[in-house]
Structure 1
Amino acid sequence: MFKKILVANRGEIACRVIKTARAMNIATVAVYSDADRRAVHVGMADEAVHVGPSPAGESYLVAEKILEACRATGAEAVHPGYGFLSERASFCELLEENGIVFIGPKPKAIRAMGDKIESKLFAEKAGVNIVPGHMGIIEDPAEAVRIAGEIGYPVMIKASAGGGGKGMRIAWNDAECRDGFDRARSEASSSFGDDRVFIEKFIVDPRHIEIQVLADSHGNAIHLGERECSIQRRNQKVVEEAPSPYLDAETRRAMGEQAVALAQAVDYQSAGTVEFIVDAERNFYFLEMNTRLQVEHPVTELVTGIDLVEQMIRVAAGETLQIAQDAVRLEGWAVESRIYAEDPFRGFLPSIGRLARYRPPQEGPLGDATVRNDTGVTEGSEIAMFYDPMIAKLCTHAATREAAIDAMSVALSRFEIEGIEHNIPFLAALMEHPRWREGRLSTAFIAEEYPDGFARPTPSAETLRRAALVATTIEMARKARLDRHIDRLRVHSGAIQRDWVAKIDGEYLAVTVVPEAGTAGGPVQYRMSVDGAEWVLATDYEPGQSPWIGTLDGVELAAQVRSRENVTAIFVDGLWVEAKVLSPAIAELDRLMPEKTPPDTSKMLLCPMPGLVVSIAVSEGQEVKAGETLAVVEAMKMENILRAERDATVTRLNAKPGDSLAVDAVIMEFE
């Protein structure tokens, strides 16, 4: 077994690999760029080596720098994680030439399966069903349009060396094909250093289901069941689960056997994933094989109890696989939510900055479920513009799918992040979505259910009442603390007031509260009513705490609490609401207060996220039509096209290509 390995990655996956290596008594070496000098993975490793400036193309993607770090530290092997150099055969060969083991498949398998064009040609020769398409290199937009016409719209334009949703566009007509071809090539070049793209038929309403395979160097190969990865946005997975709520035993067996056969055909040695798209009749088609560890691997680990990173290390060390196919059991259900630094209320645009507060839910038991949180950040960490915007991968595991989803809802409500925008409100709303809960999924789920983007839902009457209950107990806790202080000063404080009005998001709710004796050292119990509906609520909340945790008629309720000037912000049921608890007399006066109106920015194009201006498509004095491209801004390795919302005339340009802009910076103004 290896004595020391180098982890050629960053963030949560670097931390994940280091944890397993530590459990195996293997020393670890981290690498880091300028931006990651104080990153969590650097502190976790036994040693750390600086490999260059912040851009990945000048640090993490430079194979020679990784090799030099191995030489300097005596690392015997390299685990690449995912992304970066994980699927680059030349990197694997470079290590082998210098006597260093690559913890992953051999170059032959990487080349055969890592290239999206070559992998489909190989799979077709191996008798695997593939999606109709054009596997050759496409030179220009005109050729792309011609090929798309031959295949038939809609088509998918994909980067040959791509992954993670980068360099991928769906086109429904010639115009979208031309634009998508240009954008896909540009993203592919900047993300992978390879601008080749291909085109294939886009299957409407597909499900994205993948099979985890594991193989050694002695001819043994097995599969560990499937993962459902159909909840995607812009071809980027958002929520994954294992197993799939769609597959029956026969389809699962057939997909598993095909995945194993494909792995054996390329002499695969390591953990890998064979991805399929599955149609409405459970017909499945080979999509690609990822010759690396997947982002969503934790859900497979939770339902099988198998540490995939450990197996990768053991296979790379030449050990024989000790797991037989008939010994693999899928126990319970696991769900993974990807926590991203992005604003769901502004088209999921990236958000960067410092994590002023980062308090994930505690890992371990949560009722009858289990919580796991894979992360590479901590409070005070910086979310930089140079890398993927993932903050953490929150997972729950329970006996049933419903229980795992319920546990995820509670865990998300306990996940505290401040300093940047994040997608927890969207994930929390998704967990309550009827279609998601029923398992009626497709890769178009988000586009279909949120066609105009994710807008903040109007709080339901139940959510308003829950917020009112939480807000009132917070006020009671504050008054109880004040009363204790007054008692010490021997000043009579009087009885706690019974009648209140909770103002929740502008709605006024009548609340009555009667404190009841709680158990010694236990939660305080209240008998409460909101607009006539009654509950018994118990909590041990103290002023200044977050999250607020209690029970409502014996059922757990969790909420986050933030003090903002003269209001309290409460995160409950996946929504932030503003709350004030007032006496009835003050509430009457509060109703008379005027509402503030936001400033008018309708004549400006604002930068929706911090990013780099790639191009400006218009000039001063130019008339533009609604939908016309105005600018392209790059953030988190993704190019975002900003379009005109209405017909207008450009009066002033405030930015130029190459400018780095903050969120809400004015790019241009209109007449």
Structure 2
Amino acid sequence: MFKKLLIANRGEIACRVIKTARRMGIQTVAVYSDADRNALHVRMADEAVHIGPPQANQSYIVIDRIMQAIRDTGAEAVHPGYGFLSENPKFAAALAKEGVVFVGPPQGAIEAMGDKITSKKLADEAGVSTVPGHMGLIEDADEAARIATEIGYPVMIKASAGGGGKGMRIAWNDDEAREGFQSSKNEAANSFGDDRIFIEKFVTQPRHIEIQVLADQHGNCIYLGERECSIQRRNQKVIEEAPSPFLDEATRRAMGEQAVRLAQAVGYTSAGTVEFIVDGDRNFYFLEMNTRLQVEHPVTELITGVDLVEQMIRVAAGEKLSLAQEDVTLTGWAMESRLYAEDPYRGFLPSIGRLTRYRPPQEVAAGPLAEAGKWHEADAPAGETAVRNDTGVFEGGEISMYYDPMIAKLCTWGRDRAQAIEGMRLALDRFELEGIGHNLPFLSAVMDHPKFTSGDMTTAFIAEEYPDGFSGAELPEAELSRIVAATAAMNRVVDIRRTRISGRMDNHERRIGNEWVVVIGGHETAAIVEADRDGATVRFDDGSAHRVTSDWRPGEPLAILQVDGAPLVLKVNRITGGYRVRTRGADLVVKVLTPRQAELARLMPEKAEADTSKMLLCPMPGLVVKLHVEEGAEVQEGQALCTIEAMKMENILRAEKKGKISKINAAEGDSLAVDEVILEFE
């Protein structure tokens, strides 16, 4: 077995690999850019080597810099993680030339499967069902539009060397095909150093289901079930689960056998993933093969008890697989929520800055992975529902504009799908994250969405269910009633503390009131709080009542309560006259007033918001790649105004209505902050 392993990556996947290597007794080497000098993966590794500036194309994907780090540290093997150089055959070749082991597949398999055009041809030859499309490379935007017309809209424009949602666009007409071709080409060049583009038919109402394969150097290859990855945004997976709620055993077996057949056809070794598009009749089509570890691999680990990183390392060391196909069992259900530095209230645009508070829920060990002794956190308590958090950040750390916006992967395991979902709901509610915009509220909302809980979803779920974006979850009346009772009871605790601090409690100069008016969204509820040693009973004027118990203390940002015997977790911040309360994807202003305060509040005027309708504001921190208009130009609704690049993604800002440009405040190459004015209209 190797004594020293270098991880040619960063962030949560580097931390993830380090945990397994540490358990196996292998020393680790981290690499880092200027932006990652104080990163968590650097702190966790036994050694760390600086490799250059923040830009990935000057550090993490520069093969010569990684090779020098290997020479300087004497690392015997390299794990590439995912992204960056993980599917770069030139990197695999450079390692082989140096006599260093690549913890991944052979160079030939990377070349065959890493290129989407070649992989589709090989899949077809191996008898794997494939999606119709144009297998040749596309030279320019006009050719892209012509080919798309021949295939028939809608089409998917994809980077041949792409992955992770980068370099992908859906086009519904010629204009979108031309524009999508150029954006995909730019993103592919920036992210992968390869701007080749191809086009295939976009299957409507699809489900994205992938098969995990594992092969050794002795001819053994197995599949470890499937993962459902249909909850996607901009072709980027957001929520994954294993197994799929849609597949039956016959379809699972057929997909698994085809995945194994393809892997064997190219001499594949190590862990890999064969992705399929599955239609409503369970017909499945090969999409691509990822010759690396997938972001969502933890859900497979949680239901199989197999540490995929460990298996990759053992295969690379020449060991045989320790299990055969008949040994693979799928036990329980696992969920993964990707926590991104993306603001759902701003169209999921990237957010950067300092994590002023980062408190994930406590990890809990349960299920096959814990039973197999493969749980990485030795101090994680045992439980009925597992909670796992793979992350690469820490409180006080910075989220950079240079890399992928992922903050963490929160996973849960349960005996069945319902238990895994409920575990995820509570874990998301307990996840404290402040300082940047993030998608945690959206993840919580999805967990309560009827289509998701029923398993009836496609890759169009977000576009169909949130066509106007996300503005917060609408909680049912029963849940709002529980929140009203909880905040009224909590406010009484605050009032008691305030009177004790003032000294008026002891000399009986002030009684603690028990009559309150709770206001949420303009709706008032009169409440009487009857407190005792064990909690409080909150009665409403309609005769209903709730029993509230908790050990919450004023000032704590997380309140874990029981309301009528059921858990309720609230993120709580004091504001004037009440609280900001966040739970289950809702962000609420809850006023708790005395009857007299409520009477006076009804007479207060509302403050008008500033008028920014004649300005184009930068929706996220980013770089101005291109200005598409000039001062004095007349623009039409939907016309491109400016392209902003942030976190390796290009975002085209368009005119919301017809108008004339009166002033341009930014220039190409400028770095802008959130809400900075790019241009103004007459």
- Tell me the TM-score normalized by structure 1: 0.97
Q: Give the CA deviation at 1:317.
A: 0.7
Q: What is aligned with 1:353? A: 353
Cα distance change of structure 1 residues 485 and 601 upon mapping to structure 2, 3 Å threshold = closer
Letter in 2 for 1:194: D
Letter in 1 for 2:562: T
- What is the distance in 1 between the residues matched to 2:477 and 2:106? 58
- What is the distance in 2 between the residues matched to 1:665 and 1:91? 41
Q: What is aligned with 1:219? A: 219
Q: What is aligned with 1:189? A: 189
**Is contact 2:499-2:505 (8 Å) kept?**
no
Q: What is aligned with 2:565? A: 554
- What is the distance in 2 between the residues matched to 1:19 and 1:565? 45
Taking only aligned residues, the RMSD between alpha carbons, in angstroms, comes to: 1.5
- What is the distance in 2 between the residues matched to 1:378 and 1:497? 42
Q: What is aligned with 2:592? A: 581
Q: What is aligned with 1:652? A: 663
**Is contact 1:468-1:530 (8 Å) kept?**
no
Q: Give the CA deviation at 1:592.
A: 1.0
Q: What is aligned with 2:610? A: 599
- What is the distance in 2 between the residues matched to 1:608 and 1:317? 48
Counting only pairs closer than 5 Å after superposition, residues 166-245 of structure 1 correspond to structure 2 as: 166-245=166-245
Q: Give the CA deviation at 1:331.
A: 0.6
- What is the distance in 2 between the residues matched to 1:110 and 1:86? 9
- What is the distance in 2 between the residues matched to 1:327 and 1:59? 42
Q: What is aligned with 2:8? A: 8
- What is the distance in 1 between the residues matched to 2:197 and 2:135? 9
Q: What is aligned with 1:609? A: 620
Matched, 1:569 2:585: no
Q: What is aligned with 1:18? A: 18
Deviations 1:562-606 (CA, angstroms, capped at 9, x unpaired): 223554211123211112211111110111111111100000000
Secondary structure of 1:318's partner?
Answer: coil
Which 5+ residue runs of structure 1 have no aligned equivalent? 519-523
Q: What is aligned with 1:421? A: 437
Letter in 2 for 1:647: K
Structure 1 residues 125-134 or 232-241, which shifts more?
Answer: 125-134
Deviations 1:121-148 (CA, angstroms, capped at 9, x unpaired): 1111212111111111110112112211
Q: Give the CA deviation at 1:346.
A: 1.2
- What is the distance in 1 between the residues matched to 2:520 and 2:646? 36
- What is the distance in 2 between the residues matched to 1:608 and 1:650? 19
Identical pairs, percent: 63
Counting only pairs closer than 5 Å after superposition, residues 44-443 of structure 1 correspond to structure 2 as: 44-364=44-364, 368-443=384-459
Letter in 2 for 1:224: L
Structure 1 residues 29-38 or 528-537, which shifts more?
Answer: 528-537
| Aligned partner (choices 541, 553, 569) of residue 542 of structure 1 | 553
- What is the distance in 2 between the residues matched to 1:590 and 1:527? 23
Q: Give the CA deviation at 1:83.
A: 0.2
Deviations 1:241-276 (CA, angstroms, capped at 9, x unpaired): 000000000000011111111111111110000000
**Is contact 1:483-1:493 (8 Å) kept?**
no
Secondary structure of 2:668's partner?
Answer: coil
Letter in 2 for 1:287: L
Q: Give the CA deviation at 1:485.
A: 4.5
Letter in 2 for 1:3: K
| Aligned partner (choices 487, 500, 512) of residue 516 of structure 2 | 500
Which 5+ residue runs of structure 2 have no aligned equivalent? 366-381
Q: What is aligned with 1:521? A: none
Structure 1 residues 414-423 or 448-457, which shifts more?
Answer: 448-457
| Aligned partner (choices 630, 654, 657) of residue 643 of structure 1 | 654
**Is contact 1:467-1:577 (8 Å) kept?**
no
Secondary structure of 1:204's partner?
Answer: coil
Secondary structure of 2:111's partner?
Answer: helix
- What is the distance in 1 between the residues matched to 2:541 and 2:194? 61
Q: Give the CA deviation at 1:652.
A: 0.1
Cα distance change of structure 1 residues 477 and 286 upon mapping to structure 2, 3 Å threshold = same
- What is the distance in 1 between the residues matched to 2:555 and 2:305? 39
- What is the distance in 2 between the residues matched to 1:525 and 1:92? 64
- What is the distance in 2 between the residues matched to 1:412 and 1:184? 33
Q: What is aligned with 2:630? A: 619
Letter in 2 for 1:453: G
Letter in 2 for 1:657: E
**Is contact 1:525-1:539 (8 Å) kept?**
no
- What is the distance in 2 between the residues matched to 1:483 and 1:600? 42
Letter in 2 for 1:593: M
Letter in 1 for 2:393: V
Secondary structure of 1:38's partner?
Answer: coil
- What is the distance in 2 between the residues matched to 1:301 and 1:245? 17
Secondary structure of 1:42's partner?
Answer: helix
Deviations 1:344-380 (CA, angstroms, capped at 9, x unpaired): 1111100000001111111116973111111000101
**Is contact 2:228-2:240 (8 Å) kept?**
yes
- What is the distance in 2 between the residues matched to 1:393 and 1:98? 34
Q: Give the CA deviation at 1:531.
A: 5.0
Structure 1 residues 105-114 or 530-539, which shifts more?
Answer: 530-539
| Aligned partner (choices 646, 651, 676) of residue 665 of structure 1 | 676
Letter in 2 for 1:288: E
Q: Give the CA deviation at 1:179.
A: 1.1
**Is contact 1:510-1:531 (8 Å) kept?**
no
**Is contact 2:492-2:514 (8 Å) kept?**
no
Q: Give the CA deviation at 1:236.
A: 0.4
Deviations 1:50-109 (CA, angstroms, capped at 9, x unpaired): 000000011100111111111111111110000000000110110111111110111011
- What is the distance in 2 between the residues matched to 1:435 and 1:577? 24
Q: Give the CA deviation at 1:150.
A: 1.5
- What is the distance in 2 between the residues matched to 1:534 and 1:663? 45
Q: How many residues align?
A: 666
Q: Give the CA deviation at 1:450.
A: 1.2
Deviations 1:470-498 (CA, angstroms, capped at 9, x unpaired): 22222122123345546798422554322
Secondary structure of 1:373's partner?
Answer: strand
- What is the distance in 2 between the residues matched to 1:445 and 1:213? 27
Secondary structure of 1:49's partner?
Answer: strand
Deviations 1:295-350 (CA, angstroms, capped at 9, x unpaired): 00000000011100000011111111101111111110001000000111111100
Letter in 2 for 1:420: I
**Is contact 2:345-2:470 (8 Å) kept?**
yes
Q: Give the CA deviation at 1:184.
A: 1.1
Q: Give the CA deviation at 1:464.
A: 3.1
- What is the distance in 2 between the residues matched to 1:486 and 1:597? 36
Deviations 1:608-646 (CA, angstroms, capped at 9, x unpaired): 000000101111111111111101000111100100001
- What is the distance in 2 between the residues matched to 1:240 and 1:480? 45
Cα distance change of structure 1 residues 602 and 136 upon mapping to structure 2, 3 Å threshold = same
- What is the distance in 1 between the residues matched to 2:307 and 2:196? 35
Q: Give the CA deviation at 1:527.
A: 4.5
Q: Give the CA deviation at 1:406.
A: 1.2
Cα distance change of structure 1 residues 157 and 552 upon mapping to structure 2, 3 Å threshold = same
Letter in 1 for 2:516: W
Letter in 2 for 1:563: R
Q: What is aligned with 2:373? A: none
Cα distance change of structure 1 residues 142 and 279 upon mapping to structure 2, 3 Å threshold = same
Letter in 2 for 1:248: D
Q: Give the CA deviation at 1:454.
A: 1.7
- Tell me the TM-score normalized by structure 2: 0.96
Matched, 1:467 2:483: yes
Cα distance change of structure 1 residues 124 and 272 upon mapping to structure 2, 3 Å threshold = same
Secondary structure of 1:364's partner?
Answer: coil
